[in-house]
């Protein structure tokens, strides 16, 4: 099955990469600007929200969020062995589930923020996954969604962008399954589910999220939606 190949690939790859506790502390000291995605909910994150990271991988992004916002509660889901590495550096306000997202049993309507960055385009049943995300979000919750954009990937090759990370190269060039989505396709999918677009950032970059592990972009576009 395609899903098994994807699981094996990312279990071996440990995406988005390995890191140390010192790395996480460095990201905080350098002031990684997550406000690009969270400018409307940054204060609420400080006060305490429930956050779900779909396809969290090695937990680099989620563990950094958890350290930045100790009053919030974070749950990471990933079906690959990468999540075992995430637990090694996990703050106390994190919870990890090693399971296929489509099969995991989570409480509906309880998450204030759901992060799904660089994941949905590797899921053959991506519409089913997006519907599940919808059911897990509380009314008024926020979805941070990043997907491959076909134009962005073309521009990456035209500009001959070099990968700073072997892990990112493997993810971009050798993964067993991927899709790409135009801006219109993403907006149509989310509109059908009654998501309200807050702040799209379309192009061939993921801004600061990918800068966490010092890598060139991979033709991603990031969108922010609320659950109406």
CATH code, residues 2-227 = 3.40.50.150
Position 211 scores a pLDDT of: 36
Position 25 scores a pLDDT of: 61
Confidence band (pLDDT; 50, 70, 90) for 41?
low
The answer to whether 73 and 221 are in contact (CB under 8 A) is no
Sheet of strand 137-148: strand arrangement: 94-98, 73-78, 50-54, 111-117, 137-148, 220-227, 195-197
What digits encode the pLDDT tens for the residues 56-103? Answer: 888 888 888 888 889 999 999 998 888 998 898 899 999 999 999 999
84 contacts: CB under 8 Å, gap ≥ 6: 98
Q: Torsion angle, CA of 199/116/227/39, rounded to 10 degrees?
A: -40
Higher pLDDT, 147 or 202: 147
**Cα separations (Å) of 189 from 5, 143, 219?**
26, 13, 19
C-alpha closest to that of 73 among 99, 92, 54? 92
* Stated pTM of the model: 0.68
Tell me the C-alpha distance between 77 and 114, whole Å.
11
Tell me the C-alpha distance between 205 and 54, whole Å.
20
Measured on CA atoms in the order 171, 177, 180, 181, is the torsion positive or negative? negative
Cα–chain-centroid distance for residue 88? 19
Q: How long, in residues, is the chain?
A: 228
């Amino acid at each position: 099955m395609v899903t098994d190949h994807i699981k094996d690939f990312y279990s071996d790859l440990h995406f988005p990469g390995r890191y140390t506790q010192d790395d996480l502390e460095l990201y905080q000291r350098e002031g990684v600007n997550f406000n690009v995605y969270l400018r409307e909910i940054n204060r609420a994150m400080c006060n305490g929200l429930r956050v779900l990271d779909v396809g969290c991988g090695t937990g680099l992004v989620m563990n950094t969020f958890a350290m930045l916002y100790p009053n919030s509660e974070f749950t990471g889901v990933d079906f690959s062995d990468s999540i075992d590495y995430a637990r090694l550096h996990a703050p106390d306000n994190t919870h990890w589930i090693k399971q296929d997202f489509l099969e995991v049993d989570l409480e509906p309507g309880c998450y204030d923020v759901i992060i799904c960055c660089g994941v949905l385009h590797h899921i053959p049943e991506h519409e089913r996954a997006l519907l599940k995300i919808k059911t897990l979000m509380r009314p008024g919750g926020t979805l941070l969604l990043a997907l491959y954009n076909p134009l962005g990937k073309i521009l990456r090759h035209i500009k001959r962008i070099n990968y700073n990370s072997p892990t990112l190269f493997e993810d971009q060039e050798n993964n067993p399954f991927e899709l790409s989505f135009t801006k219109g396709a993403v907006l149509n999918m989310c509109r059908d589910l009654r998501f309200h677009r807050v702040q799209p950032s379309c192009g061939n970059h993921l801004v600061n999220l990918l800068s966490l592990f010092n890598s060139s972009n991979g033709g991603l576009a990031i969108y922010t939606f609320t659950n109406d």
